[in-house]
Amino acid sequence: MKNSQKAASAAKFVGCPTCGKPAAYSQDNPYRPFCSERCKLVDLGAWANENYRVEVKEADENSIPSESPPES
Ligand SMILES: [Zn+2]
């Protein structure tokens, strides 16, 4: 019985996707599976920034005006 009681109160730890540190995967950690709010925001920011860069890169290539004027 002691074992089951101990398992119920023991927090499960997972590796934080951002920094790799062990993060408590329980209701005590609202930022799970991240270790902290900062790591959660960093991860979301990285995804948003990556998508933004991809879109900007494609749009930039298509919107580059030809520097050579058309000759007639
Ligand atoms: Zn972290």
pTM: 0.51
For ligand 1, the distance from its centroid to the CA atom of residue 44, given in whole angstroms, is 12
18-52 per-position pLDDT tens digit: 999 999 999 889 999 999 999 999 988 876 776 65
- For residue 42, being part of any structural domain is answered with yes
Better pLDDT: 61 or 41: 41
Which comes out higher in pLDDT, residue 8 or 31?
A: 31
For residue 46, give its domain range: 36-60
Answer whether residue 18 is part of any domain: no
| pLDDT for 4 beyond 70 | no
Distance 39 CA to ligand 1 centre (A): 5
Six-digit token string for 28: 């005590």
Residue 14 domain flag:
no
Tell me, yes or no, whether 41 lies in a domain: yes
In a domain, 12, yes or no: no
- Domain count across the chain: 1
Residue 28 resides in a domain: no
Residue 52 forms part of a structural domain: yes
Q: Among 48, 42, 52, 51, which Cα is nearest to 17's?
A: 42
Asked if residue 26 belongs to a domain, the reply is: no
14 CA to middle of ligand 1, Å? 10
